[in-house]
């Protein structure tokens, strides 16, 4: 057995040929719809205009199918389909800090300006626009919900979306501390809720803690009805090292739910502080979250392999695990497998270098605001593009 048999070589050859074939398809098929000039950003090209490629997942079942920028199957907007009949109050909570040092220290460079549709945003403007678009999506998909924006003691918002309120929670919101501060602010928020310092009302109010670079494209209120026994819900994907994402967290608004969720986040904060302070500034909270969950002796990590919701007890808290593919969908980065966009996706996360795509998506929806279906084709066709902000 010094050398592989003929059959094995043949098989290898075929695999290489198949690979070359796929690569050729990828590169030849990558038609760019040009709405500006391209800019080479070093190793990986980054775009400052909307760049579209082929849509993944075509022909696969339960995936969004597109003809150009037209979705073949239309999905009615939740507010129009009458799904929002539940009279339960659900609020979004998001940490948002304004960074304006760069304006004071350097002359505004042309490259930091961003033009989407007819509007040009400077550095602060584009970050405020992320917040606006986040709020706008919620106005459409969950019109009865509002947003609590948690921020530092001094931030002055030039404008606050009409469905949002700013809450100042003192802390260190500097970039390098933001992920740690975010957990602290969530805890303080839940504490304020428990102690009755805010919104003394008898109505149960559920909370969804999210990043602000997400688009809610469907009504999420049914989560609390469909799964009646969780305190806190997290989103997971099939990723060995980082199965949990901290970008979308549901909390049941009962006294028990809020206190258990708070205790859970306190455990995460402790793990963060004691073990993951040196982690890259964006990852500490996720590493801590993973550690807390995986350190449960009875927890079966194999359950992360299938995108199916399940409940597990973690630190005396009942945690609902929801698949990222529906509740926190983001196109995989780099060369990961990409099977398209699930038809029933509810939350789209514009992580990393996709922020501009979030603004472009809203701009696209605004121009024909019938439903989100066609916009999802735009996102699907552009999900692999890296943008310059």
Ligand X SMILES: *[C@@H]1O[C@H](CO)[C@@H](O)[C@H](O)[C@H]1NC(C)=O
Residues that bind ligand X (CB under 6 A): 98, 100, 108, 110, 113, 118, 120-122, 125, 154-156, 158, 172, 174, 176-177
CB 353, CB 265: distance < 8 Å = no
Q: Which is nearer to ligand X, 122 or 266 (CB)?
A: 122
Q: Which is nearer to ligand X, 156 or 337 (CB)?
A: 156
| Beta bridge pairs of residue 91 | 146, 207
Q: How far is the CB of 177 from ligand X (least distance, A)?
A: 4
CB 354, CB 387: distance < 8 Å = yes
Q: Give 90's contacts (C-beta < 8 A, 6+ positions apart).
A: 142, 144, 145, 205, 206, 207, 208, 220, 221, 224
Q: Which is nearer to ligand X, 4 or 369 (CB)?
A: 369
Q: How far is the CB of 173 from ligand X (least distance, A)?
A: 8
Q: How far is the CB of 108 from ligand X (least distance, A)?
A: 5
Q: Which is nearer to ligand X, 64 or 150 (CB)?
A: 150
Q: How far is the CB of 288 from ligand X (least distance, A)?
A: 15
Q: How far, in Å, CA of 12 to CA of 23, rounded?
A: 17
Q: How far is the CB of 103 from ligand X (least distance, A)?
A: 8
Q: Which is nearer to ligand X, 185 or 221 (CB)?
A: 185
| Beta bridge pairs of residue 320 | 233, 311
> b/e string for 271-310 if b means 16 or more Cβ within 10 A?
bbeeebeeeeeeebbbbbbbbbbeeeeebeeeebeeeebe
Q: How far is the CB of 312 from ligand X (least distance, A)?
A: 32
Q: How far, in Å, CA of 372 to CA of 370, rounded?
A: 7
Q: Which is nearer to ligand X, 274 or 295 (CB)?
A: 274
Q: How far, in Å, CA of 260 to CA of 257, rounded?
A: 5
């Amino acid at each position: 057995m010094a050398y592989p048999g003929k059959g094995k070589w043949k098989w290898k050859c075929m695999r290489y040929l198949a690979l070359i074939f796929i690569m050729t398809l990828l590169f030849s098929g990558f038609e760019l719809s040009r709405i500006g000039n391209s800019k080479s950003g070093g190793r990986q090209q980054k775009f400052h205009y909307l760049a579209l490629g082929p849509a993944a997942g075509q022909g696969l079942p339960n995936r969004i199918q597109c003809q150009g920028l037209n979705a073949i199957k239309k999905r009615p907007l939740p507010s129009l389909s009458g799904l929002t009949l539940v009279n339960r109050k659900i609020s979004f909570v998001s940490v948002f800090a304004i960074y304006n040092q760069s304006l004071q220290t350097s002359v505004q460079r042309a490259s930091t300006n961003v033009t989407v549709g007819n509007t040009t945003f400077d550095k602060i403007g584009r970050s405020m626009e992320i917040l606006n678009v986040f709020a706008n999506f919620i106005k459409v998909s969950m019109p009865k919900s509002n947003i609590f924006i948690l921020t530092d003691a001094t931030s002055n918002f030039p404008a606050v979306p009409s469905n949002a309120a700013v809450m100042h929670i003192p802390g260190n919101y500097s970039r390098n501390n933001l992920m740690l501060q975010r957990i602290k602010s969530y805890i303080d928020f839940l504490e304020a809720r428990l102690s009755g310092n805010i919104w003394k009302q008898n109505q149960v109010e559920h909370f969804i803690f999210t990043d602000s670079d997400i688009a809610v494209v469907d009504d999420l209120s049914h989560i609390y009805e469909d799964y009646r026994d969780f305190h806190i819900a997290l989103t997971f994907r099939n990723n060995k090292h980082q199965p949990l994402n901290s970008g979308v967290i549901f909390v049941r608004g009962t006294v028990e739910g809020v206190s258990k969720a708070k205790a859970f986040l306190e455990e995460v904060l402790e793990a963060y502080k004691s073990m993951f302070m040196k982690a890259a500034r964006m990852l500490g909270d996720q590493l801590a979250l993973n550690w807390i969950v995986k350190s449960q002796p009875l927890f079966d990590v194999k359950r992360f392999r299938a995108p199916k919701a399940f409940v597990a007890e973690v630190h005396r808290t009942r945690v609902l695990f929801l698949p990222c593919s529906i509740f926190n969908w983001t196109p995989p980065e780099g060369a990961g497998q990409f099977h398209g966009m699930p038809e029933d996706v509810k939350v789209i996360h514009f992580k990393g270098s996709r922020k501009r795509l979030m603004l472009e998506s809203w701009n696209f929806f605004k121009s024909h605001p019938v439903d989100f279906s066609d916009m999802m084709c735009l996102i699907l066709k552009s999900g692999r593009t890296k943008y310059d902000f």
